[in-house]
């Protein structure tokens, strides 16, 4: 009898652990590079957060999306070969109250992240596993057309989406990604606490004046081991009001920053 109870308990623990991992495909996300997955990804995030949190896993393929809002205790995991691709239409993007629009945004959330995955999930600290493409040139062209027609009142700097934009969030991990062709600054953190932004390859050569990692009003932020290839713009841009900032191992082609 005791053996059965122990077995059932062990099974329940294992099942509970496995239940924290969710495949994006289960929620109807399609990796064909054509389907707009914004609604499907958002539904997945909402459900996972409501269930107590977990990881949303994307496997090989191209997942087209507009803005998705991360919620408490949810981490997006992009496995090697998986690419999130930003749609070029500006009307598919939104952002936090006091932060830029972006492909992935969050406001006032806790324990969130976007990470590249490797075989050993105990260690996500590896560069270049999972890609996010901003389609920067196409997105900016779309914005310019809307401004010229008078449909859009924002200037291009305000309208163009970043890759990640978090405001007022706590316990944030963004690590191990390849970022390609952003339309604006890549990672933007405002008034966040306990932030780790590490081991990314950031490639921004389509659009001028895009900064790499931008933060202001943050407390306890670590920016480490990132590699930047920028057309122009600053690899790391600090605004006012930051406390306990640690930067190390960040590089450009010219060497260590």
Q: pLDDT digits over 61-100, tens only?
A: 999 999 999 999 999 999 999 999 999 999 999 999 999 9
Sheet holding 219-224, edge to edge: 21-23, 54-58, 74-78, 110-116, 170-175, 193-198, 219-224, 243-248
pLDDT interval class at 157 (50, 70, 90): confident
Lowest mean pLDDT among 92-101, 110-119, 172-181, 233-242: 110-119
Measure CA 160 to chain center.
16
Measure CA 214 to chain center.
14
Rounded distance between C-alpha atoms, residue 102 and residue 168, angstroms: 15
Cut 0.85: pTM above it: yes
pLDDT interval class at 124 (50, 70, 90): very low
Rounded distance between C-alpha atoms, residue 175 and residue 245, angstroms: 17
What is the per-residue pLDDT for 206?
86
Report how far apart, in Å, the C-alpha atoms of 47 and of each of 15, 53, 118, 122, 236 are: 18, 8, 25, 24, 34
What is the per-residue pLDDT for 205?
87
Write the DSSP symbol of residue 94: B
Cα-Cα-Cα-Cα dihedral sign, residues 176, 220, 171, 187: negative
Q: What token pair was written down for 33?
A: 């590079």
Per-residue pLDDT tens over the stretch 181-199 = 999 999 999 999 999 999 9
Higher pLDDT, residue 247 or 124: 247
Element (H, E) at 196: strand 193-198
Rounded distance between C-alpha atoms, residue 177 and residue 189, angstroms: 17
Report how far apart, in Å, the C-alpha atoms of 172 and of each of 94, 185, 189, 190 are: 20, 18, 10, 12
């Amino acid at each position: 009898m005791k053996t059965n109870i122990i077995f059932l308990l062990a099974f329940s623990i294992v099942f509970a652990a496995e239940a924290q991992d969710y495949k994006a495909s289960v929620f109807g996300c399609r990796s064909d590079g054509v389907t707009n997955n914004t609604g499907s990804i958002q539904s997945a995030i909402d459900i996972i957060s409501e269930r107590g949190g977990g990881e949303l896993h994307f496997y090989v393929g191209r997942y087209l999306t507009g803005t998705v809002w991360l919620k408490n205790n949810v981490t997006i995991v992009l496995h090697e070969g998986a690419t999130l691709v930003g749609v070029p239409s500006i009307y598919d993007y939104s952002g936090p109250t006091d932060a830029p629009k972006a492909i992935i945004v969050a406001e006032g959330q806790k324990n969130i992240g976007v990470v590249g995955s490797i075989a050993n999930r105990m260690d996500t600290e590896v560069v270049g596993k999972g890609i996010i493409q901003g389609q920067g040139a196409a997105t900016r062209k779309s914005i310019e057309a809307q401004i010229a027609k008078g449909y859009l009142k924002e200037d291009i700097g305000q309208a163009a989406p970043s890759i990640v934009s978090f405001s007022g969030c706590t316990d944030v991990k963004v690590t191990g990604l390849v970022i390609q062709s952003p339309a604006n600054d890549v990672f933007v953190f405002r008034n966040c606490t306990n932030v780790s932004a590490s081991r990314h390859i950031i490639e921004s050569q389509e659009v001028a004046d895009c900064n790499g990692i931008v933060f202001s009003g943050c407390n306890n932020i670590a920016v480490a081991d990132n590699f930047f290839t920028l057309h122009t713009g600053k690899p790391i841009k600090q605004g006012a009001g930051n406390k306990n900032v640690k930067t190390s191992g960040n590089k450009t082609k010219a060497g260590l920053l």
